[in-house]
Structure 1
Amino acid sequence: MNNTISTADRIQLPFQFDVEKMLAEVRQMNLNNFIYYNVIPLRSPAHMVDPSLPVPPPAEDFADGSWTEWMDTADLKLSPYLNEVVNTFKEHTTVTLVRILRLAAGNVVKEHCDPTLGVEIPKSVIRLTVPILNESGVEFYLNGEPVPMKPGECWYMRLTDPHSVINNSSEDRINLTIDMIPNDWVKSRLLKES
């Protein structure tokens, strides 16, 4: 397959995950009080999970995910359903960074671009987003237009484009994000659904 592809800026993929199971496992994690924005790593560079492992040498390009080995964190190992969700993609490609992202009620992630999170970018990774808790009043904007993500759905968004989040609900917004290397399997899924 061609190294670069062109897709829509947002693609809902044909995966549906169990919201109640995901939310129950997230609530079992050590959820500290937080202000504004919070990240819970589920898969990280191996040396950050196990400090006895050597720190990799400085990378010329962090974007492609090959600069280090990746390892599941204790939180993911203790979360069988979230592990199943991540394994949906690990069976087909290299999954790099996996996180739970929480945005506190009444807060905003200002518009920004992530220069390496788009399938069109050579040597990039892509990010899939699975909303877990996404109450009415939470809006994700991509290129100035809302993305109508619902809990349990799985979305690819071209995050090299401008995007922002507004949480006007009374609850935290909680998403699972899964970064992966866009191999031929990933690219074919995106092309099929775009």
Structure 2
Amino acid sequence: MKNAFLKLPFVFSEKLLLEDLEVCTSHTFSPHYNTSNYIGEWKSIALRSLNGDPNQIYAHASGSEKFQNTPLLDACPYFKEIIDSFRCEKESIRLLNLSPNSKIKEHTDHNLGYEDGTFRIHIPIMTNVDVHFYINHEEVSMKEGECWYGNFNLPHKVENNGAEDRIHLIMDCIRNEWSDQLFSTIGYDFEFEKQPVEYDQNTTLRMIEELERMNTQASKEILLSLRSRS
């Protein structure tokens, strides 16, 4: 599917990524809050969060909250350099660690496609050949130091069948003119994004489940629209 995932034209230093990761792994990572979506161990720590706390790992604001850098980010100069190189506003920024023999079940997120004005970037810091990441049922091979966009409105899942942790730096960014120019260079189809997205029945039902768990006014409004089509 067009625009499902795209590799960005950046390659970051594996050595410097690991140096900052070492700073972060001296702190406690919190188990991911969506316990129904994974098997094994999936945990996170925040570099930017709703209240500036590294252990506040929620990725979405429910209203007037503003995201803030956490003190941990100040101790990670290379992560900060990478983040600042994206010339757009950022919301949640986290490290997510999927432990060996763990799986993130197939699911869909909400408002995480470029067409929504918010986009998620993945930068692998640690991975292995036995990690399998699928977006819209297609495997995406992400290597250390690479930079990827994925449309996480689409079904996606991850399996870490290896013996090492799989750790990504994940940024939620706000679309702007700079990002539009960037995405145009990597083949993003701006005409395709204008077409209405048609979800199959299973995907629609999974989206409804996710939105029900969010239980916000915005999610309730979207639920009404989805249910009218299901």
Question: Aligning the two structures, in what range does the TM-score lie when normalised by the shorter sequence?
Answer: 0.7 to 0.9
Larger radius of gyration: 2
Residues 131 and 75 (structure 1), Cα distance of their counterparts in 2 relative to 1, 3 Å cut: same
Say whether 1:127 aligns with 2:132.
no
1:71-82 equivalent positions in 2, closer than 5 A: 71-82=68-79
Structure that is richer in strand per residue: 1
Instruction: Give matches, 1:18-167, under 5 Å.
Output: 18-29=13-24, 30-32=26-28, 36-45=41-50, 47-49=51-53, 59=63, 67-89=64-86, 92-121=87-116, 124-167=117-160
CA distance in 1, matches of 2:158, 2:171: 18
The higher-RCO structure (CA 8 Å, 6+ apart) is: 1
Query: Residues of 1 paired with 2:62 and 2:109: CA distance?
Result: 21
Give TM-score scaled by structure 2 length.
Answer: 0.69
**Alpha carbon RMSD of aligned pairs, Å?**
2.1
Count of residue correspondences: 171
Change (3 A) 1:58 1:116: closer
Q: TM-score, normalised by structure 1?
A: 0.81
CA shift digits 1:171-194 (9 cap, x unpaired): 010000011101121122112202
Distance 1:181 1:193 in 2: 18
Native 8 Å contact 1:13 1:156 kept in 2: yes
The answer to which of 153-162 and 34-43 deviates more is 34-43
CA contact (8 A) 1:7 1:191 kept: no
Q: 1:121-171 deviations in whole A, cap 9, x for unaligned?
A: 2xx411000000011100110111110111101000111000000001100
Aligned letter for 2:83?
A: V
**CA 1:186 to 1:7, structure 2 compared with 1: closer, same or farther past 3 Å?**
farther
Q: Post-superposition shift, 1:25?
A: 1.4
1:11-32 Cα offsets, whole Å, 9 max, x none, are 1001111112111211222344
Q: Name the CA distance, whole Å, in 2 between partners of 1:16 and 1:184.
A: 22
* Contact 1:7 1:190 survives alignment (8 Å): no
What secondary structure, in the 3-state scheme, does the structure 2 residue paired with 1:25 have? helix
Counterpart in the other structure of 2:226: none
Q: Unaligned regions of 5+ residues in structure 1, if any?
A: 1-5, 51-56, 60-66
Which residue identity does 1:154 align to in structure 2?
Answer: C
CA–CA distance in 2 between the matches of 1:40 and 1:49?
Answer: 9
1:68: how far off? Answer: 3.2
What is the deviation of 1:7? 5.5
> 1:153 aligns to what SS in structure 2?
coil
| Identical columns (%) | 32
User: Which amino acid is the alignment partner of residue 43 of structure 2?
Assistant: N
- SS of the aligned residue for 2:3 comes to coil
